[in-house]
Amino acid sequence: MTIQWFPGHMAKARREVTENLKLVDIIFELIDARLPLSSRNPMLDEVVHQKTRLLILNKMDMADDTQTKKWIAYFESKGHPTVAINSLEGKGLQTVFKASKELLKPKWDRMKERGIKPRAIRAMIVGIPNVGKSTLINRFAKKNIAKTGNTPGVTKRQQWIKVEKEIELLDTPGILWPKFEDQEIGYKLALTGAIKDAVINMEDLAIYGLRFLESHYPRRMEERYKVTTVSEDLVETFDHIGKLRRCYGPGGEVDYDQVAELIVRDIRNQQLGKLTFDFVNEYE
């Protein structure tokens, strides 16, 4: 699903998240592990206020492991509990449960002290499009299909999915918009498939991708494309890659559109390995 984020849609999305916040004890902020800053919603801090929150770096199978570890340490140092998971294969889900229980223990202890019978922890997922919200919900749901049904006092279309003995998840995630303020973030989101190709110029994106590889993963670029630097004269680099990978037009000349698509596809399909596009040391 690709959403056009007009002001009206943004206001509606924000309103929905704010409404659902009242129903839950904890927010699972789903982030793309390849883009730990660029895939966060710029206003979520404001929307969430004091609500307990767990940062979940999803798609860890596609991200650079060294960077993922650094990002977890970075967020934790800023006071944000953080875990990394792979929703597609259901890896790391136990860390989500464990962290949720730990984070809510003080609240639950207080409830017990006041004689309130412990109930399940209620959670909701919030994240930008394509970050893996539905995949994670399905993963949770399949493990423990029993839906708990409508809870009194809760809008009837909302269902709670029992994901674990003591945890329930709202079956509708909160979808918020990504950051679009700068072009670089746009390119990063496009390289991970979070933005539709139609709104992006493929050649610009491929050039951004190559320059990113040159500065952050030069050895992998060399292995794949047999170049160590991106030439000032981009035609030279495109010609080189085009010949290497046989991207020819009908007349036998290098087809630059094909080259651009190939580079973007290679990056997205992990032909250059596991990549993280936000480098933690650039933000520290």
Ligand X SMILES: Nc1nc2c(ncn2[C@@H]2O[C@H](COP(=O)(O)OP(=O)(O)OP(=O)(O)O)[C@@H](O)[C@H]2O)c(=O)[nH]1
Binding site for ligand X (CB under 6 A): 1, 58-59, 61-62, 86-88, 127, 129-135, 175
- Residue 132 contacts residue 93 (beta carbons within 8 Å): no
First to last CA, the chain: 33
CB of 240 to ligand X, least distance (A): 30
Q: Which is nearer to ligand X, 42 or 106 (CB)?
A: 42
Residue of this chain nearest to ligand X (CB atom): 132
Q: Which of 97, 66, 100, 96 is nearest to 84 (CA)?
A: 96
CB of 274 to ligand X, least distance (A): 10
| Spatial distance between the Cα atoms of 146 and 266, rounded to a whole number of angstroms | 40
Q: Which is nearer to ligand X, 132 or 209 (CB)?
A: 132
CB of 214 to ligand X, least distance (A): 25
Q: Which is nearer to ligand X, 173 or 242 (CB)?
A: 173
CB of 125 to ligand X, least distance (A): 8
Q: Which is nearer to ligand X, 32 or 259 (CB)?
A: 32
Q: Which is nearer to ligand X, 170 or 230 (CB)?
A: 170
Neighbours of 228 (CB within 10 A): 10
CB of 109 to ligand X, least distance (A): 33
Burial group, residue 182, by CB count within 10 angstroms (0-12, 13-18, 19+):
exposed
Q: Which two tokens stand for residue 228?
A: 């160590």
Q: Which is nearer to ligand X, 175 or 207 (CB)?
A: 175
Looking at residue 168, what DSSP letter applies?
Answer: E
| Spatial distance between the Cα atoms of 108 and 105, rounded to a whole number of angstroms | 5
Looking at residue 31, what DSSP letter applies?
Answer: E
Q: Which two tokens stand for residue 260?
A: 């651009």
Q: Which two tokens stand for residue 229?
A: 């630097």
CB of 75 to ligand X, least distance (A): 18
Q: Which of 254, 268, 271 is nearest to 206 (CA)?
A: 268
